[in-house]
Structure 1
Amino acid sequence: MKQHWLHIVLGIFLCTTSVHAQLDSIQQLPEILLIDAKLIPFSKGYKIEKLSDSLVERNATSLTETLRYNTSIYFKENGFGMVSSPSFRGTNAAQTAVVWNGININSVFTGQTDFNTISPLNYNEISIRSGGGGVQYGSGAIGGSIHLNNTFSFKKVDTTEIGLQYGSFSTLGGSASTTHAKHDYYVNVGVDFINSENNYDYIGKHKTNTHGEFLRFASKLNAAKNLKNGLATWNSEYIFNDRNFPGSLTTIGKDAYKDIATRNLFQLQQNIGAFTTKASIAHLFEEYKYFPDSEKPLYDGGKASTFIGALQSDAVLLKNLRLNTKVTYHYIDARGENIGENTRKTLAVVVLLNHNVSKKFTYGLNFRKEFLNGFDNPLLFSADAKWTISNDYAIRINGSKNYRVPTFNDLYWYAGGNNTLQPETSYQIELGQGLIFKDFKFDLAGFYISSEDLIKWVPGNGGLWQPVNISKTRNYGLEFIIDYTLKISPKHFLSLAANYSYTKAEDLEKETQLMYVPFNKAGGALSYNYKQFLFYIQGLYNGKAYTTTDNSDSVVAFTVFNLGGEFILPFKSNITIGGRLKNVFNRYYESVAYRPMPSRNYQLFLNFKF
């Protein structure tokens, strides 16, 4: 597979030539600011999990790996590095929003994000917001949303970090990032890549994963400038993926897929008394090429540009009432061999309110209305509340109405598109409680989701598949998280982080469990730290998941363990060496039917910080 270094050069050029703010974050962490001003202040009654840097670094091969082991989200993955899609609380991939610095970046073609095309090392903060987020983040935020944020700080810093890794299946990766900041400016530039032959054995099958090579390259630039009574920020990223698709246990792979994504966001914020106004301009671009035969130049493709303009005002009234109003305009221009040339215009008006009634009780009310996009758009709403009963214990509740508009593929696909589709709608409620006692943290949540007019592709006349609004589903379940750190002595620490979820996701017409939604999923890690040495064991359990709509077949339950360790050199504290052994017991497992996952494999890494 060609390396396409031209794309890498163009990616760096894009970033280098392109050169969150919220009250609660400023109060708690005055030196770190977020671009996404809606994530924390208007989500008080929602569960938000922020993944620590150490958790991300342990599973940094892809965003799939990061989230699979550290959250309750289930992933369907067509083999290592191949197409990967999530199921969040039993919803499908198009009902999970991926939000980059406050912007929903799900594909306009498919309505979803392939999590293997995203490097977690490209972001300073990765957060998971459970529950409906349609008011704040638009179409697709039904099961939950994944937030990829680039933070910034005006604290003086001048650092450079370089990471190198090598592993089984001729896997080579590297990353570099440099950050410079003073009291009035911040600049961060970075690159990241991974390349693999991906030729692992199918355990017990006497077969090898062939035609599965892949390359991913990403670059980023993030900058901020402190202005008089305000600030200006700029965020850019470029991502290029080149993958050959392997076959399965029953097929031979020969197709390939290449895609490019660029994202640019400029924001200008001004503070005037109690009011903060922010103007935003963004451009998102995506392009894909699908090759039925990787050895031939013929392909089907598509490209889309999304232009976004937004103006919002944020005010803190009477010291305890916060109001945010926002008007956003989206213009999408998409074209491709299979969808023709089409556009979509969307005007959205959003009103968010949070009221701190007292130090112990807060609630929020949020509304969204969209226009111009050609659909019968419902009024979206959400409400949430949090009651802090004591310093250690709090309960929360939230409810919302959410939606998902049909994608360009749903509407315009040349062989089956249906331009009469209506948006999916969904209602949900969640009740949760959190306990924090010294170094022990526990969170328990119960959820219920009712959805209708779900878009499904079904066979029609002449065997032609076509999307229609037919399905009704009901999802409910429980989730809990435990985090505990035991200080054995001043130099010895033992840490446990674990998560578990039970999910019942029913097709109400067929009275069956939805495809690729396991009833049970659990994960966790036990870590031991002594001075400069860290050792951990990591486990993942996925219960049985049905692979057919009538629940007649399934992928079996599996458990996988990984071991890892790292060591900071005592004479060079800026150098860390380490390694990981994945699938320690060489367990055969699949997350998608007939698509085996890797056999036992290793990864070595070397990190420098200057």
Structure 2
Amino acid sequence: MNIKRSLVLFLSSYGCFLFGQEKSIDTIYIFDSQMNKVKQFHPIKIITPSEMQKNSSNLSELLRFQSDVYIKENGRGAVSSPSFRGTTAQQTAFVWNGININSNFLGQGDVNNIVLFGYDQIGVKAGGGSVTYGSGAIGGSIHLNNILEFNKGFHGSLFSEVASFGTFNNFVKGSFSNEKFSFKASVNYAVSANDYEVPEYVTGITPFKNINGRYYNTTFNVGAAYKIAHDQTISWQSQVFDASQHYPIYESNGNRTKYNAQTLRSVISWDVNKENLSNSLKAAYTEDNFQYFSALNLPKTSGAEGKNYIFKNDFNYFITPKINFNAIGEFQVNKAQGYATGIGTISRNVGSLAGMIRYFVNKDLRFEAGIKKDFVEGISSPLLYSFSGKWTPLQWYHVSASFSRNFRFPSFNDLYWQPGGNLDLKSETSSNVDMNHEFRFGDFKVNLSPYYMDIKDLIRWLPTPYGYWAPINTNNAESYGLESQITWNKNFGRHGLKINAGYTYSKSINKDTQMQMTYVPLHKAVGSVDYRFDFLRIYAQGLINGLTYTTTDEDRTKAIDPYVLLNAGVSADILKKYTLGFKVNNLTNTVYQTVRDYPMPKRNFSIYATINF
């Protein structure tokens, strides 16, 4: 059954759309079994591999220009964290093939220690999602998905890029599939001296140079699926990642440090898709290790090793063609061992049970209600819930709304780091209200998404009278605003034109002080124009970032000033198998920063080639 026929099923039998999508394994297999269900009620921005190549420096650059997320980056390629709708990095969930991969130590994901290439799609979902994706899915979630296709034969491609600052980026992938078996593998290697200069930005008495900014990373992805029966598939997906980031310093005789990270992720899934039910049973193992070196040529100063054993079952049943029941159970064993961090040998059990009912009244109206209870060893967790609905009152207008309760439980560093760890911490909780209005006028599509969040028991690290910092549940916060998106796509014979524009207003305040939260720009706008003529493609990207406070008292002298960035690129397809391209980043040579005192590169260039075979 192909995708087109699945869509026909939806038009003819309303709720069977979900069933139709799940039966489409004859054509395509997506490892995140919840993704298609979530898309029925919430907008998700999907970024394809061709879009990834426009911002191939790293995942930070991609999200900065192609999403509403604000990215804090301590200089290009260094420590980087996301902010969804004015929330913190710990309130953003990274989901790899349906598995939450936020660090057990930090409770977040370092964006520059998550590889850009090797995924078949990247999904960006704003709004709460803890009922489906667990701890940390308060502000939003970023989904890193792999897809396996059947009966497609052999395909391969090679991408190679040379860029400013001694940067080299290489990615190769290959796949083979027949009616019963599918296999895909890829390797990515990126390295950069990263020694850019910003003469206009003076630190002390010296113009800024990104000394000791070198980084490299290597990634290997492999996936396979086999149909043991027409309605059953066994699949496997693994990723190995190794990286090193050197921390920038301001003076050439300063102390040079670095941070090494290694991750291993592997998931095996047994999927059953029958006439009115489906079940996805997953067993996963993830490993998250890091080492900090206070001097490049000395042994590690500190570090930690984390291992997670995960079992997850997703059962989906159509009671009637209009009523769908979904139950999700998950159990994890989180293990960790620290080195010179005060963290000893730790083991924690985490479990959860969730149930959801979806009611498809007709093809224009649907509802979903969900409830979930987490069981975290040693930590009290709240009862979570979500209510969603989507209605199409007019052919050109869709409206959806959701209300949810979400949470984040304390990380290992929050609890056990010494000195400072606090075993009495409570989980952060939030109440989220989201709406989305979608208008379609011919080739135009407009989305308007107002939202509101009330967050309680924020965990913050603060100085103590004893001379060290410690985490405590402190002030509450609220965040509200508007996300908007306009797209226009038109083909004129051999010509094609696509325009995207988005604007975000984010008001996120500490309810005790009524001050804007740090590193939350009040205004952000992104846009792109893509023009295609036969074998030639030209694109331009723009970003406008508003005033961004870096201190809790809204000190204007320490704030990041507004800035405007432009990128542009051109590529040509040659003999249908080869692509040559050229890109210019920061076309206007703007001096800007996303974290105070860490300026980003000025104008820089790259050339790349792609071979398909």
TM range, smaller chain: over 0.9
Correspondence for 1:506 among 506, 509, 517: 509
How far, CA to CA, are the matches of 1:600 and 1:535 in structure 2? Answer: 18
Partner of 1:519: 522
Correspondence for 1:578 among 576, 581, 585: 581
Which stretch shifts more, 72-81 or 221-230?
Answer: 221-230
Which stretch shifts more, 203-212 or 389-398?
Answer: 203-212
Report whether the alignment pairs 1:323 with 2:325: yes
How far, CA to CA, are the matches of 2:447 and 2:65 in structure 1? Answer: 17
How far, CA to CA, are the matches of 1:462 and 1:299 in structure 2? Answer: 23
Correspondence for 2:257 among 252, 255, 258: 255
Which stretch shifts more, 551-560 or 470-479?
Answer: 551-560
Q: Classify 1:416/1:439 alpha carbon distance in 2 versus 1 (closer, same or farther; 3 Å).
A: same
Question: How many Å apart are 1:584 and its aligned residue?
Answer: 1.0
Question: How many Å apart are 1:29 and its aligned residue?
Answer: 9.4
Partner of 1:559: 564
How far, CA to CA, are the matches of 1:248 and 1:44 in structure 2? Answer: 49
Instruction: Please give the root-mean-square deviation of Cα atoms over the aligned residues, in Å.
Output: 1.7
How far, CA to CA, are the matches of 1:24 and 1:301 in structure 2? Answer: 47
Pairing 1:312-461 to 2, within 5 Å after superposition: 312-337=314-339, 338=341, 339-461=343-465
Which stretch shifts more, 249-258 or 378-387?
Answer: 249-258
List structure 1 segments (4+ residues) > 3 angstroms apart after TM superposition: 21-30, 248-253
Partner of 1:3: none
How far, CA to CA, are the matches of 2:32 and 2:322 in structure 1? Answer: 21
Question: How many Å apart are 1:311 and its aligned residue?
Answer: 2.6
Report whether the alignment pairs 1:74 with 2:88: no
Question: How many Å apart are 1:153 and its aligned residue?
Answer: 1.5
Question: How many Å apart are 1:300 and its aligned residue?
Answer: 0.5
Question: How many Å apart are 1:251 and its aligned residue?
Answer: 10
Partner of 1:286: 288
Q: How many residue pairs are counted as aligned between the two chains?
A: 587
How far, CA to CA, are the matches of 2:597 and 2:509 in structure 1? Answer: 24
Contact 2:263 2:286 in 1 (8 A): yes
SS of the equivalent of 1:295 reads coil
Correspondence for 1:243 among 240, 245, 249: 245
Contact 1:203 1:587 in 2 (8 A): no
Which stretch shifts more, 268-277 or 146-155?
Answer: 268-277
Gaps of 5+ in 2: 1-16, 202-206
Report whether the alignment pairs 1:106 with 2:102: yes
How far, CA to CA, are the matches of 2:76 and 2:89 in structure 1? Answer: 18
Question: How many Å apart are 1:227 and its aligned residue?
Answer: 1.8
Partner of 2:47: 51
Contact 2:463 2:469 in 1 (8 A): yes
Partner of 2:270: 268
SS of the equivalent of 2:379 reads coil
Question: How many Å apart are 1:170 and its aligned residue?
Answer: 0.6
Letter in 2 for 1:432: N
SS of the equivalent of 1:121 reads coil
Contact 2:19 2:276 in 1 (8 A): no
Partner of 2:214: 213
Correspondence for 2:143 among 140, 147, 164: 147
Q: Deviations over 1:257-283 (max 9, x none)?
A: 000000000011234553323321100
Contact 2:326 2:355 in 1 (8 A): yes
Question: How many Å apart are 1:37 and its aligned residue?
Answer: 1.5
Partner of 1:135: 131
SS of the equivalent of 1:66 reads helix
How far, CA to CA, are the matches of 2:598 and 2:120 in structure 1? Answer: 33
Report whether the alignment pairs 1:204 with 2:200: yes
Q: Classify 1:211/1:415 alpha carbon distance in 2 versus 1 (closer, same or farther; 3 Å).
A: same
How far, CA to CA, are the matches of 2:127 and 2:278 in structure 1? Answer: 28
How far, CA to CA, are the matches of 1:336 and 1:573 in structure 2? Answer: 52
Q: Deviations over 1:39-68 (max 9, x none)?
A: 221453322111233321211221111111
Contact 1:214 1:241 in 2 (8 A): yes
Which stretch shifts more, 164-173 or 315-324?
Answer: 315-324
Letter in 2 for 1:183: E
Contact 2:26 2:150 in 1 (8 A): no
SS of the equivalent of 2:158 reads strand
SS of the equivalent of 1:545 reads coil
Which stretch shifts more, 320-329 or 187-196?
Answer: 320-329
Question: How many Å apart are 1:203 and its aligned residue?
Answer: 3.7
Structure 1 vs Structure 2: percent identity of aligned residues?
Answer: 31
Partner of 2:223: 222
How far, CA to CA, are the matches of 2:19 and 2:500 in structure 1? Answer: 29
Q: Deviations over 1:161-190 (max 9, x none)?
A: 001100110101100000101111110000
Pairing 1:156-175 to 2, within 5 Å after superposition: 156-175=152-171
Contact 1:363 1:385 in 2 (8 A): yes
Question: How many Å apart are 1:120 and its aligned residue?
Answer: 2.4
Pairing 1:30-41 to 2, within 5 Å after superposition: 31-41=27-37
SS of the equivalent of 1:58 reads helix
How far, CA to CA, are the matches of 1:44 and 1:460 in structure 2? Answer: 47
Contact 1:78 1:595 in 2 (8 A): yes
Q: Deviations over 1:16-45 (max 9, x none)?
A: xxxxx9636357897233211212214533
Q: Deviations over 1:196-222 (max 9, x none)?
A: 000101142433211000001111011
How far, CA to CA, are the matches of 1:564 and 1:268 in structure 2? Answer: 43
Question: How many Å apart are 1:529 and its aligned residue?
Answer: 1.0
Partner of 2:498: 495
How far, CA to CA, are the matches of 2:193 and 2:18 in structure 1? Answer: 44
SS of the equivalent of 1:65 reads helix
SS of the equivalent of 2:62 reads helix
Contact 2:22 2:278 in 1 (8 A): no
Contact 1:108 1:408 in 2 (8 A): yes
Contact 1:25 1:32 in 2 (8 A): no
Gaps of 5+ in 1: 1-20
Q: Deviations over 1:76-99 (max 9, x none)?
A: 001110011011000000000000
